[in-house]
Amino acid sequence: MQTADPGAPTYLSAGLAARTTAGVVQLAGAPVAYWTYEPQHAAPETRTMLVIHGFRGDHHGLLRVADLLPDMRIIMPDLPGFGSSAAFADGNHSVAHYGRFITGFMAELGLGPETVLLGHSFGSIIAAHFVAANPGTVTPLILVNPIAAPALEGPKGVMTRLAVLYYRLAARLPRRAGLALLRSPLIVRIMSEAMAKTRDPGLRGFIHGQHHAYFSAFADRDSLLESFTASVSGNVTEVAARLTLPVLLIAGEKDEIAALPDQHTLLAQLPDGELKVIPGVGHLIHYETPEPAAHHIRSFLKDHPA
């Protein structure tokens, strides 16, 4: 199985590194790693956006979008249990607990109600449920590839149930065998091939390299199973009516995980929602089509100033 080519293009600008600072905060006795991407030219109207990544991802997944928003201050933590952040030390990895994490993280960094909140995939569930439970803490809300329908229902239900068995089996096997199953390069590559829609060989190579490098950076099997269970047990639509702030949905035309018909159903239930559909892309908007995603984000924030 081929891994990432060290000489392959990174698809990230040199300027992004100059905007980047890394930090660590202690929340409930556990370290949380986060990265801040400062604006190239700060101004009084500079917006701050908190970004919540998806399941088995970390902050690396949203870097192409951050790169294309040089006029914003963007803060991206690795969620507890993923990337460089420790698992929760005080409870399971549920949607509600991740919501409490956002509350603590925002308080630690002094982020106020003018903060923009963005969630991708599983992060869309966390972000939406957080806002529904804590109205007035952020504005507005942006959801990329939002999970709009129950994962265990509809056409994708069979595949979801197979995934449930996979994670449960990996959690029950002896530690070494379970981790080998979860971190199998073959399984990671199959997943990456299935989600990538671009035919550009260079970009596909970049995506596979990203998944190979970061998809297996989780704290332990138990927290991963808890997070996976949370990711398939909730969705955005179940709290849509309580999202009274402006909400932008950015969906992929070919998304098989967050299907387009479900996005229209979600939109109809939002009090103040807007849907932008990006053609030709699936569940990897953040990797494959960051340019139109960044354009929609800028336009939406221009229409909804702080």
pLDDT per position as a tens digit, 50-76 = 999 999 999 999 999 999 999 999 999
Residue 229 confidence (pLDDT): 94
Predicted local distance difference test score (pLDDT) of residue 159: 76
What confidence score (pLDDT) does residue 102 get?
98
Checking DSSP bridges between strand 116-120 and strand 273-278, what pairing results, if any? Answer: unpaired
- Helix count and strand count (H, E) for the chain: 12, 8
Confidence at residue 1, expressed as pLDDT on a 0 to 100 scale: 32
Q: For residue range 249-274, list pLDDT tens digits in order.
A: 999 999 999 999 999 999 999 999 99
pLDDT at 210 over 80: yes
What beta strand segments (E) does 81-158 contain? 116-120, 141-144
- Residue 152: its pLDDT value, please? 62
178-204 pLDDT per residue, tens: 999 999 999 999 999 999 999 999 999
Q: Residue 218, class by beta-carbon neighbours within 10 Å (0-12 exposed, 13-18 middle, 19+ buried)?
A: buried
Model pLDDT, residue 7: 42
Query: At CA 171, angle to CA 170 and CA 172, rounded to 5?
Result: 95
What is the rounded average pLDDT of the residues 266-292? 98
pLDDT confidence of residue 9: 55
List, for residues 71-121, the tens digit of each pLDDT value. 999 999 999 999 999 999 988 999 999 999 999 999 999 999 999 999 999
pLDDT for 42 equals: 82
| pLDDT value at residue 29 | 86
Query: Is 50 exceeded by the pLDDT of residue 3?
Result: no
User: In angstroms, what CA-CA distances link 294 with 57, 68, 146, 278?
Assistant: 19, 6, 16, 11
Mean pLDDT computed over every residue of the chain:
93
- Whole-number pLDDT of residue 161: 82
Nearest 10 degrees: CA dihedral of 289, 187, 183, 118? 30
Q: Return the beta strands (E) in the chain as ranges.
A: 20-27, 30-37, 48-52, 73-77, 116-120, 141-144, 247-252, 273-278
**Structure confidence by residue, pLDDT tens digits, 116-171:** 999 999 999 999 999 999 999 999 999 999 999 987 666 667 678 888 899 999 99
Q: Does residue 299 carry a pLDDT above 90?
A: yes
DSSP state of 74: E
Strand 141-144 to 247-252 pairing: parallel
- Say if residues 26 and 32 touch (Cβ distance below 8 Å): yes
Does pLDDT of 18 surpass 80?
yes
Contact between 30 and 87 (Cβ < 8 Å)? yes
